[in-house]
Amino acid sequence: MNEVVQVRLREAGKISYFATGGLKFSIGDYVIIEQDRGLEYGQIVSEPEVVLDTEIEKPLRKIIRKTNPWDHHQIEKNKKKTRELIQACDKKIREHKLPMKLVEAEYSFDRSKIIFYFTAEGRIDFRNLVKELANVFKARIEMKQIGVRDEARLMGGYGPCGKELCCAKFLKDFEPVTIRMAKDQNLPLNPTKISGLCGRLMCCLSYENQTYRELIKGLPQLGQDIKTEKGKGKVIALNPLKRSVTVEIEDGKHIEVKF
């Protein structure tokens, strides 16, 4: 058994479990963590919990310690170098005429590695690009192709609700979101109304999906003919929260029928 906490890598990276090693942490603490080929930093986003070995994705890495003032100075120093990294990589991409869009770049905490995030329509042969960047920055280079949702997570922003994007704030993984969820919640099927900054369906459509699926059980379907106290009619709208439907009866009037 292991005591673990969830840590978000860097500012908007992946959330993973790390062993506490018996150290005490609180949500919001910044920590130095053990990663492949070096050290990285992250932020605690959960309370400690004890789990079985079989419940954790291997390998389970450790938290080294809480960050100190020198660590924060190093983190800020690395962030200030981001513009230089992006400009250099953009220049090389143009020289090699590669069909890719550079989104973000960042140093690992100990500066042993630089990660470049990009989007592209297909697979890109960037081997020569990596070699040249490694010669320029004297560090290990990782090119990471991401999707439009990951791009929104990295860039950040605010949704139509006025709050920070869920993907940048707290989402651990991207769950499938379908147009059926919007239909079940009786939302207008207007792409501008139900799409996020990434251009995909908003992640929050899935939050109440299961509740709506339970609420619509037993309700007639749209377009279905039903009998009411005022005669036969056709269902033209559903209201799952009220457990009711709007029916257009034979004389053209609309009535609400509860179930």
Could you read off the pLDDT of 162-182 as tens digits, one per residue? 999 988 888 877 888 999 999
- 82 and 137, same structural domain? yes
Query: What global pTM score does this model have?
Result: 0.73
Instruction: Looking at the chain, list the stretches that DSSP marks H as alpha helix, in order from N- to C-terminal side.
Output: 69-80, 82-96, 127-137, 148-155, 166-169, 179-184, 191-194, 209-215
pLDDT at residue 59 above 90? no
Q: Using a pLDDT cut of 90, give the percent of the chain over it.
A: 41
Instruction: State which of 67, 101, 122 marks the end of a domain.
Output: 67
Q: What value does the mean pLDDT take over residues 144-162? A: 88
The domain of 87 spans 77-146
CATH code at 89? 3.30.300
Among residues 130, 127, 98, the alpha carbon closest in space to that of 114 is found at 130
Could you read off the pLDDT of 180-220 as tens digits, one per residue? 999 888 888 898 889 999 999 999 999 989 999 899 888 89
Count of structural domains, the chain: 4
